[in-house]
Amino acid sequence: MPRKLIVTAFVLALLAGPAAAKTYVHTPPMGSAERKAIMDAMRATGDLPDRIFIVKFLKVSQGWAWLEADPRSKDGKQSYEPESALLQQKGKAWKVVDQPCSEESCDADEEMSRIKTDHPEAPAVIFPK
């Protein structure tokens, strides 16, 4: 019986391996090429292409990213409205594919639900709890 349990555990571990790899989530470190590419995609949206981002939340998994950040001017003297976005990697480049409504009348929970519904292929592990 113990041998059977060991074999079963081994088979389960082999089967879980690929699944676990698919849900790997990370935050690209400051200065990394991946983080720069994500921030460049954010700068490509809107009318302030030279803004920098003070990152509050960034998770990446399976070619998808969720970002929440406070944008500022390069000199740090001007702060702008907080920004959030769902990004997808296409080749080596990242692209903003959705952003929640930022108007005062928008419901943040409803917007998050909408984004998750509109992009079911985005892994749940990238979104804040």
Question: Is 14 a member of any domain?
Answer: no
Question: Is 72 a member of any domain?
Answer: yes
The reported pTM is: 0.81
CA dihedral of residues 110, 116, 118, 119 (deg, nearest 10):
160
Tell me, what CATH number does 58's domain have? 3.10.450
Question: Is 11 a member of any domain?
Answer: no
What is the number of domains present in the chain? 1
**Do 37 and 53 touch, CB atoms closer than 8 A?**
no
Question: Is 110 a member of any domain?
Answer: yes
Query: Encoding tokens for residue 7?
Result: 């074999």
The per-residue pLDDT for 94 is: 98
Write out the residue range of the structural domain in which residue 99 sits. Answer: 25-126
Tokens 């419901």 belong to 107
Question: Is 36 a member of any domain?
Answer: yes
The per-residue pLDDT for 7 is: 37
Reduce the DSSP state of residue 61 to 3 states and report it.
strand
Helix (H) or strand (E) holding 71: strand 64-72
Question: Is 18 a member of any domain?
Answer: no
Question: Is 20 a member of any domain?
Answer: no
Overall residue count recorded for the chain in this entry: 129
Cα–Cα distances in angstroms (integers) from residue 109 to residues 74, 85, 102, 112, 116, in the given order: 31, 14, 12, 5, 11
Tens digit of pLDDT per residue, the chain (129 long)?
455 534 344 444 444 444 444 579 999 999 999 999 999 999 999 889 999 999 999 999 999 999 999 999 999 999 999 999 999 999 989 999 999 998 889 999 999 999 999 999 999 999 998
